[in-house]
């Protein structure tokens, strides 16, 4: 639900991203296994070109 309000769809993420439900128990489980929760509204929506301008080593 949070993702939908932020305007993102699962197919709009890079292939290295896995979209998962934001259930509290699942978050705790995955964080315990070393994953991090990324809150979509904390990060401005950027194109790959904009990111590469900031981090040229990604080319």
Look at residue 33 in the predicted model and tell me its pLDDT: 92
For residue 33, give every residue at least 6 positions away whose Cβ sits within 8 Å of its Cβ, in sequence order, or none: none
Contact between 46 and 58 under an 8 Å Cβ cutoff? The reply is no
| Residue 15 pLDDT | 79
How does pLDDT run along the chain (59 residues), one tens digit per residue? 455 456 677 788 887 877 776 677 788 888 899 998 777 666 778 888 998 998 999 88
pLDDT of res. 1: 41
**Dihedral pair phi/psi, residue 40, rounded to 5°:** -55, -35
- pTM of model > 0.85: no
Cβ atoms of 40 and 6 within 8 Å: the answer is: yes
């Amino acid at each position: 639900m949070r993702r939908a309000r932020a305007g993102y769809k699962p197919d709009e993420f890079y292939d290295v991203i896995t979209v998962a439900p934001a259930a509290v128990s699942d978050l705790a489980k995955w964080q315990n296994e070393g994953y991090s929760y990324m809150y979509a509204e904390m990060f401005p929506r950027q194109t790959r070109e904009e990111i590469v301008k900031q981090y040229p080593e990604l080319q």
